[in-house]
Structure 1
Amino acid sequence: MRFLALAGRRLLAAVPALLIILVGLFLLLQLAPGDTVDALVAQMGGADATMIANLRDYYQLNDSVSVRLGDYLWRLVHLDLGYSAIYGKPVALVIAERLPATLLLMGSALAIAFSVGMLLGVIAARRVNRWPDTLISSLGLVFYAMPSFWFGLMGIFVFAVWLDWLPSGGFESIDVSLHGLARVLDIAWHLSLPTITLSMIFLAIYLRIMRASMLEVSTQDFIRTARAKGAGETRVVVRHMLRNALLPMVTLIGLQAGTMLGGSVVVETVFSLPGLGRLAYEAVVQRDLNTLLGIVFVSALLVIAINFLVDLLYARLDPRIAATR
């Protein structure tokens, strides 16, 4: 019952956070120079004053900011993200076409960063102040300091141009029609280099957090008690140390969900992936306000959902969380 109450409070707290994000971004975008009509006129190569006035009236750009904000929030209540003037179709449809690529990229990068970072962190903690710890910590520092765009460009040069092992970009092969398992493997082949690129920085963070957490937990009284009872070292590490050391790692997933989503903008641009990050960049350049707000709305929902699941998982790993809230 306490677990369900915790879940309900987390969901209720997410509503004002989402509202603040949307209203703040909407008002901030009003300060940016240019609008949708300016982008459309530039694409058409120019237009007369009458056409420009008609376009501004059609897209309700002559209304006050408060009226447009109220209209936008009212449409959101009805799950209407509006119409994209640049892409010529509903924003929901545009986002639905781009969302799978971003979800696959984020999910695979997070899985690699978390699992490999956890493994390397455990190895470094178990071999502290020895050569494995020194090597792993040095690699983590290098990965953390390396910009993702530079790593992506070097990956393209080495693995796509020089060795010709991996494709240099794209989500899947467009010269052949694949279905079923063949298409899944083709997408995985195309996403392998972008996934590794996005996961490097986060892998470095996870391994350092896991190393520090393991070292801290290893000094606790319950670890000494478990060893005094005759428990094997593998059992002590897996059943006692690892579960408690995972708590900061799980918390970090929720905190870095938004950061990883932001990092996908650079990775998707470098590798020409049709995802939300690249779509957001195109919407900013083309002043497509409805599309940009729709991306922020979906991204905020995604980050809130990830943090909600992290809170529930955290409560499962540490029952004291649900008992005290």
Structure 2
Amino acid sequence: MKKLINNPQNVVAESLRGFGLAHPEHVRVNEDPLFVSRAGGAVQGKVGLVSGGGSGHEPLHAGYVGVGMLDAAVPGPMFTSPTPEPILEATKAADGGAGVLHIVKNYTGDVLNFETAAELAEAEDITVKAVIVNDDVAVEDSLYTAGRRGVAGTVLVEKIAGAAAERGDDLDAVAAVAQKVIDNVRSMGVALSACTVPHAGKPSFDLEEDEIEIGIGIHGEPGRHRIAMADADEITERLLTPVLEDLKVSDGEEVLLFVNGMGGTPLSELYVVYNHARDLLDQRGLKVTRSLVGNYITSLEMQGASVTVLRLDADLTALWDAPVDTPALRRGL
């Protein structure tokens, strides 16, 4: 294992300290308990947005703290949910008096710990609602979940719900917008190689040189099937086809196409995937009116990618286009 780290047990804390030093205009890092909040504190009268989960998926979630997205993010240990205490403190830091929305990926530890934190926040007179992101069409249940996993669609939920909160929507309306995104977004990923969690010191799963895993999770969970390595177009079709079948999009509908890298895939290869995915959507009569390509939710240094499709309407498109200013996503400001 070759990694630019010191003690494997200190990777998250040292990384977050560096992150805070690099982006003081966007974030403040609280070291005990560990969470990241918006520079300048909660915005009074605005719904606060909080998300979080295990580290190793950067820039998710801390990279999306700032104007137009999250008000706080809670990074747990590598691939491990944060405990209720830092989630509670992040919720308090994000509360501007209009309530707080928790955006939770559908992993058992995340769901349980965010629920506990919400109950503790309610006891301190903070109104909390939660939405559960479950966009991965690869499986119904995995090692980490009861139901579908939350993966790349989480980025789109955070951006669009964040824009709704920024424009002044109340808590019920922001939660409804977030749920609308969840109901209309689907994803599926592939791994060409495994990643290595620092404290484990070895790859999280084994793949032969000529094998890939279709439907992999962001923690290295098993996918739908393992196949021989294929060319990019075939892999793209294997990812996109079940996404479209599950989403049930119709000819003429507008969509956002998101090709995400898992951390170890060159941007040039992601654009190869996007190229064929775009052709396939065009052939089905779908209108790709918005796009996103890059490493936005990763799995350490895993080689691989995911394809996400979001059904759009006028309101979702306007919210996607709204200004955002975070360390990892900036547009329109």
Same fold at TM > 0.5: no
Measured against the shorter chain, the TM-score band is under 0.3
Q: Relative to total residues, which structure has the larger helix share, 1 or 2?
A: 1
Q: Relative to total residues, which structure has the larger strand share, 1 or 2?
A: 2
Between structure 1 and structure 2, the one with the greater Rg is: 1
Q: TM-score, normalised by structure 2?
A: 0.23
Q: TM-score, normalised by structure 1?
A: 0.24
Q: Comparing both chains, which one has the higher relative contact order based on Cα–Cα distances under 8 Å and sequence gaps of 6 or more? A: 1
